[in-house]
């Protein structure tokens, strides 16, 4: 057994290495080639078992994967597990077949637990006791009558609409052989594929199908090709009958367990030997680098992504707009610092372990060192001129190399600490500008002349050199920017005084004279000596930029620590003209095929536009190659949006088209997800509760909408999702979903009850008036005698009523136990405070406080002790807010609201921390003699411009929950 396991492990390792080797030509391919990236998810990411048997996509767009330990639903970011331990009704394991239903439900066939159906959040076992212990191989929903076809080993069963199970295979004349696939043909007839080939079942009779093109052999899968043809995977490869009748036989002699065709005509095949094979329309094949042996699980989803299940988890293969070179391709290090292309088309790549030369698909190392020594030093700068390559290093100075990479000259720069050479600029006269930690020097005729960093000269680290027209030399440093004109005059743009930046990493000049600058404060444009800043406030995902490349197609490409940003020049001009508020920035990062999202800067050049238009960017994980033409291609439709969960006061609810909230419901949380598996981290969301929210609530990447204490009424929650770059005015790229929400009023809130109560009140008033009038008429003769007495009596009653009115008003707005304002008064005060803060532009913070372990006090010492704790807490809180001019209210139970006008969240958090210290320093002596100390947990949030009160409370509530999860007795303020 040990030997067999060792051989199996060795085979898997060999397969993985073969996949990597076969993948290498694609990594080195140029533009025009399709690039692929492979991502995997295992038990560490949420799978309950590493072996994935089946994978499918439902109508809403969710991905389902079946394993030995239940089934998971995937939204692109996280898995939701359904099994017998955590899901009522889902007593299933060993899920081998997953079939989406047309109504949005999903069918599941299991190894020993029968058939289950998931619909709107609920689970149902189909077939009752007849299928309870049934081993299901595969399933098919009949499109004609809705019956369910079930394959169980060699048996073919039919489950009708009345939940009756009938055995069909034997009576139809099917051979007693294992069934692997069930499909309906164009006429709706059932095709049964398996160990005995393929049979067509019509009116209860089976006959051989496809004899003219499929040999009589075992079939592992029968599938449509999506273009009118058929694909048959079996022990002798794949037989493909095209729509025009043409037949191809692929991989003869190899067993293929599953096959699928994507929208580009590429075939994907799961080999029984363990690999996922890709076959292009031109016949080229590649074994994809997935881990583990593949199963029969194979799917091409709606985004044309390929999903495969293996013994190590779930894998996604995606065609991407970028690719990369790494150490496995031959680079000396994955940490790449500089890149350029020479005049013959070869690429020179500087990295932390030296220099690489990439030409004609081959990468070789170029050793650098003085004399006969060989060193692997970090290469920070490259420059090419007239057949020579200049190389700037971390600690060895500068080398000049010939086309073959032979060292022709070595220049030592500076002394003492390693003189980091970050920028090089060769001139037409044969001289060389050398910039780095030593400042700036010029090498000419074997001599070095210092311009920066020498005695009496400004000290700065040079990071960029650029020769503009009219003989001006531009210098980017860590202390702003400098220029040297043709007359030898220097000018220094000092940080925050002359230029709105500290670090200048790259400089590019337009023919019209505009100067573009990549800095730590964003993209700068200098026009006529003035600077325009484009940063996060205008839509850039990151302010620190390293490199600017013009693609000569109307866009600038900017490298950063969060990928590469494409910005259209037209949009920059529209922002300047006031016709556009935000830039629509297209982000290319690791999810698009780059080896890493962190691009490197402070070196030169930290990006290059190749002769064929490819853009190359050094990253911390390899050299990224971006095809700008592919990057411009975007999907025409928006991502579908689906609701994932609904929680009412912490209790999960069924997902139904209309959500009805019963009276007294406090907190509503609705989770949602955009169904885009290509780049889910690039999705951004906004939502709006029509009938409640005045405007859209921007959620960013958050996927939950939270509301508290919704008034009775009918609402509609609309959620929108859009991939970056964001432009909410472009309806074509936005996906949306809606959910009806009905808040049922309490009995006293219903119009009929209110109308009836009003009628009774008016009737009572009328009756009282009529009786009183009758009495006045009967006592008219006595009226003059007692008028003085009655006037006095009425005056006293009016005074009593006024006093009672004051008492009723106080009772209506204050809590009887603590004496603090109640929830009604708190909501009214908060609404007024939010309105004042928005109108006056002043800060406003709120805190939600919850007494820790209050239920334990009631359970241990009785409710009288709990009331005593609340009274003591209320007295301390009332004194504290009076001392600081704040407002507090009891929100219900042991929860309190503190409203802090004109306080930012940092100050408000300190106030609550002071209150916490005061509270827990108090001792409460109970009648029983026990001594209690009280603590609380609190969440503090600050109002943001345009934010409604309920959203502010929701943030405070989330931070309160975080404070409790982190151990209670604390304040969470950010």
Active site residues: 894
- How far is residue 225's CA from residue 697's CA, in Å, rounded to a whole number? 43
| Tokens linked to 248 | 């191809």
| Three-point CA angle 622, 624, 628, nearest 5° | 175
Please, what is the end-to-end C-alpha distance for the chain in angstroms?
56
- How far is residue 705's CA from residue 673's CA, in Å, rounded to a whole number? 11
Do the beta carbons of residue 598 and residue 621 sit within 8 Å?
Answer: yes
Could you count the other beta carbons within 10 Å of the beta carbon of residue 301?
18
Q: Cα 742 vs. chain centroid, distance in angstroms?
A: 30
Query: Three-state DSSP class for 31?
Result: coil
> 780-813 and 823-840 are packed helices; what angle lies between their axes, rounded to 10 degrees?
70
**For 814-862, where are the alpha helices, taking DSSP H only?**
823-840, 854-861
Do the beta carbons of residue 543 and residue 502 sit within 8 Å?
Answer: no
Q: Which residues pair with 889 in a beta bridge?
A: 897
Q: Radius of gyration (Cα) for the chain, nearest Å?
A: 37
CA distances from 962 to 152, 253, 666, 938 (A): 49, 59, 19, 9
- How far is residue 941's CA from residue 945's CA, in Å, rounded to a whole number? 13
Query: Three-state DSSP class for 208?
Result: strand
- How far is residue 160's CA from residue 171's CA, in Å, rounded to a whole number? 17
- How far is residue 919's CA from residue 678's CA, in Å, rounded to a whole number? 52
Do the beta carbons of residue 166 and residue 155 sit within 8 Å?
Answer: no
Alpha-carbon torsion (415, 420, 422, 424), positive or negative: positive
- Taking phi over 0 as left and psi of -120 to 50 as alpha, with beta for the rest, 825 belongs to alpha
Q: Which residues pair with 852 in a beta bridge?
A: none
Peptide bond into 725 cis (omega under 30): yes
H/E segment holding residue 874: helix 863-884
Instruction: Give backbone dihedrals phi and psi of 795, rounded to 5 degrees, phi first.
Output: -60, -45
H/E segment holding residue 556: strand 555-560
| Tokens linked to 707 | 């509301």
Could you count the other beta carbons within 10 Å of the beta carbon of residue 84?
14
Q: Which residues pair with 821 in a beta bridge?
A: 814
Q: 395: closest CA among 372, 382, 376?
A: 376
Q: 604: closest CA among 340, 284, 241?
A: 340
Pairing assessment for the beta strands 35-41 and 52-57 based on DSSP bridges: unpaired
- How far is residue 315's CA from residue 309's CA, in Å, rounded to a whole number? 6
Interacting residues of 13 by C-beta distance below 8 A, sequence separation 6+: none
Query: Three-state DSSP class for 401?
Result: strand
As a dihedral over the C-alpha atoms of residue 417, residue 421, residue 422, residue 424, rounded to 10 degrees, the angle is 160
Alpha-carbon torsion (389, 395, 396, 397), positive or negative: positive
- Find the length of the chain: 974
Burial 32-41 (b: 16+ CB within 10 A, else e): eeebbbbebb
- How far is residue 198's CA from residue 118's CA, in Å, rounded to a whole number? 30
């Amino acid at each position: 057994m040990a030997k067999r396991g060792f051989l199996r492990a060795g085979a898997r390792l060999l397969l993985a290495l073969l996949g990597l080797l076969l993948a290498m030509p694609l990594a080195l391919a140029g533009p025009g080639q399709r690039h692929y990236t492979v991502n995997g998810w295992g038990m560490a990411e949420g799978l309950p078992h590493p072996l994935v048997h089946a994978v499918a996509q439902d109508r809403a767009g969710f991905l389902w994967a079946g394993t030995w330990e239940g089934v998971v639903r995937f939204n692109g970011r996280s898995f939701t597990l359904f099994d017998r331990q955590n899901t009522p009704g889902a007593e299933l394991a060993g899920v081998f077949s997953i079939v989406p239903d047309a109504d949005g439900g999903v069918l599941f066939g299991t190894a020993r637990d029968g058939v289950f159906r998931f619909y709107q959040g609920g689970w149902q076992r189909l077939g009752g006791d007849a299928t309870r212990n049934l081993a299901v191989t595969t399933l098919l929903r009949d499109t004609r009558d809705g019956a369910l076809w079930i394959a169980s080993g060699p048996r073919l069963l039919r489950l009708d609409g009345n939940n009756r199970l009938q055995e069909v295979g034997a009576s139809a004349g099917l051979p007693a052989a294992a069934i692997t696939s069930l499909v309906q043909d164009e006429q709706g007839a059932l095709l049964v594929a398996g160990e005995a080939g393929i049979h067509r079942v019509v009116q209860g009779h089976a006959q051989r199908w496809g004899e003219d093109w499929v040999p009589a052999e075992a079939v592992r899968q029968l599938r449509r090709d999506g273009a009118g043809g058929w694909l048959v995977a079996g022990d002798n490869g794949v037989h493909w009958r095209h729509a025009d009748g043409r037949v191809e036989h692929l991989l003869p002699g190899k067993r293929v367990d599953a096959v699928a065709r994507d929208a580009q005509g590429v075939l994907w095949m799961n080999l029984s030997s363990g690999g996922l094979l890709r076959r292009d329309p031109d016949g080229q094949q590649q074994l994809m680098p997935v881990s583990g042996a593949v199963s029969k699980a194979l799917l091409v989803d709606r985004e044309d992504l390929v999903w495969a299940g293996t013994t190590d988890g779930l894998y996604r293969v995606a065609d991407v707009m970028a690719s990369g070179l790494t150490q496995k391709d031959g680079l000396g290090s994955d940490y790449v610092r500089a890149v350029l292309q020479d005049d013959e088309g070869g690429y020179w790549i500087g990295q932390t372990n030296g220099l690489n030369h990439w030409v004609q698909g081959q990468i070789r190392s170029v050793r650098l060192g003085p004399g006969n020594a060989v060193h692997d030093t970090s290469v920070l700068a490259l420059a090419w001129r007239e057949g020579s390559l200049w190389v700037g290093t971390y600690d060895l100075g500068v080398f000049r190399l010939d086309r073959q990479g032979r060292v022709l000259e070595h220049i030592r720069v500076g002394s003492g600490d390693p003189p980091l050479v970050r920028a090089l600029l060769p001139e037409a006269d044969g001289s060389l500008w050398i910039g780095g930690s030593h400042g700036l020097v010029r090498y000419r005729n074997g001599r070095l002349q210092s311009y920066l960093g020498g005695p009496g000269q400004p000290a700065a680290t040079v990071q960029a050199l650029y020769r503009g027209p009219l003989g001006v030399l531009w210098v980017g440093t860590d202390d702003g920017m400098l220029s040297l004109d043709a007359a030898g005059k220097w000018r220094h743009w000092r940080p925050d005084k002359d230029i709105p930046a500290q670090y200048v990493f790259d400089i590019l000049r337009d023919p019209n004279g505009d100067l573009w600058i990549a800095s730590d404060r964003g993209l700068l444009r200098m026009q006529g000596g003035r600077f325009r800043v484009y940063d996060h406030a205008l839509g850039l995902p990151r302010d620190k930029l390293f490199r600017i490349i013009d693609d000569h197609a109307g866009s600038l490409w900017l490298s950063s620590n969060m990928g590469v940003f494409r910005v259209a020049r037209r949009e920059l001009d529209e922002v300047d003209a006031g016709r556009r508020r935000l830039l629509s920035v297209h982000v290319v990062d690791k999810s698009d095929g780059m080896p890493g999202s962190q691009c490197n800067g402070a070196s030169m050049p930290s990006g290059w536009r190749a002769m064929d238009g490819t853009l190359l960017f050094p990253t911390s994980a390899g050299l990224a190659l971006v095809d700008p033409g592919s990057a411009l291609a975007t999907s025409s439709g928006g991502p579908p949006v689906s609701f994932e969960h609904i929680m009412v006061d912490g209790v999960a609810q069924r997902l139904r088209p209309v959500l009805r909230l019963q009276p007294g419901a406090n907190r509503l949380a609705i989770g949602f997800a955009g169904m885009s598996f290509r780049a889910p981290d690039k999705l951004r969301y906004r939502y709006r509760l029509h009938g409640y929210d005045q405007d859209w609530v921007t959620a960013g990447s958050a996927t939950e909408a939270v509301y508290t204490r919704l008034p009775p009424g009918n609402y509609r929650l609309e959620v929108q999702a859009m991939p970056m770059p964001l432009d909410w005015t472009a309806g074509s790229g936005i996906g949306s979903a809606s959910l009806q929400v009905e808040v049922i009023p309490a009995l006293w809130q219903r119009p009929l009850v209110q109308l009836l109560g009003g009628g009774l009140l008016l009737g009572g008033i009328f009756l009282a008036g009529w009786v009183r009038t009758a009495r006045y008429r009967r006592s008219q003769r006595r009226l003059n005698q007692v008028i003085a007495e009655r006037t006095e009596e009425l005056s006293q009653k009016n005074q009593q009523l006024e006093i009672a009115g004051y008492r009723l008003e106080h009772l209506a707005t204050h809590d009887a136990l603590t004496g603090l304002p109640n929830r009604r008064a708190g909501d009214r005060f908060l609404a007024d405070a939010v309105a004042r803060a928005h109108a006056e532009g002043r800060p406003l913070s709120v805190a939600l406080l919850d007494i820790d372990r209050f239920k334990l006090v009631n359970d241990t010492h009785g409710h009288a002790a709990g009331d005593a704790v609340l009274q003591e807490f209320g007295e301390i809180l009332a004194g504290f807010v009076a001392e600081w001019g704040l407002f507090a209210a009891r929100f219900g139970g042991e929860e309190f609201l503190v409203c802090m006008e004109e306080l930012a969240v940092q100050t408000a958090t300190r106030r609550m921390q002071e209150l916490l210290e005061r509270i827990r320093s108090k001792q409460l002596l109970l009648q029983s003699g026990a001594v209690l100390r009280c603590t609380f947990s609190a969440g503090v949030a600050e109002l943001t411009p345009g934010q409604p009160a309920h959203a502010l409370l929701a943030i405070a509530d989330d931070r309160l929950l975080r404070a409790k999860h982190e151990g209670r007795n604390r304040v969470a303020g950010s």
